[in-house]
Amino acid sequence: MERSVEIVVAGAVQGVAFRWQASVEAERLGVRGWVRNEPDGTVRCSVEGSAEAVRSFVDWCRRGTRWSSVERVEVTDVEHHGYRTFEISG
């Protein structure tokens, strides 16, 4: 079963390789979508894939990179977009 979510990660998550590591983790898990920095200092992801893979990606977002400090993660279920790859944007 496929799941599609939007994730907002708050804390010290910009300038600490969060987006790059997220793309590595997405590739490892086989999820598709995108990740980008937001002007307010958060990182936003739109991710879809198997429910298990998406859950694992969200769990990774809660841990972040060894250089980041995640304070809060918000997850919202969204409509399926049909992404084919995972990209870093913004």
List pLDDT tens digits, range 34-64.
Answer: 999 999 999 999 999 999 999 999 999 999 9
Catalytic residues: 19, 37
Please report which confidence band the pLDDT of residue 90 belongs to, taking 50, 70 and 90 as the band edges.
confident
Band of pLDDT at residue 17, cut at 50, 70 and 90? very high
Mean pLDDT of the residues in the chain: 97
Query: CB neighbours of 3 closer than 8 A, spacing ≥ 6?
Result: 48, 49, 50, 51, 54, 55, 77
- Split at pLDDT 50, 70, 90, the class of 66 is very high
Give the other-Cβ count within 10 Å of 37's Cβ.
17
Domain that holds residue 54: 2-89
Q: Residue 13 maps to which CATH number?
A: 3.30.70.100
Question: How many domains in the chain?
Answer: 1
Q: Is 26 exposed, middle or buried (0-12, 13-18, 19+ CB in 10 A)?
A: buried
Residue type, 63: R
Which one-letter DSSP state was computed for residue 4?
E
Query: Rounded to two decimals, what is the model's pTM?
Result: 0.96
Residue 41 tokens read as 């200092």
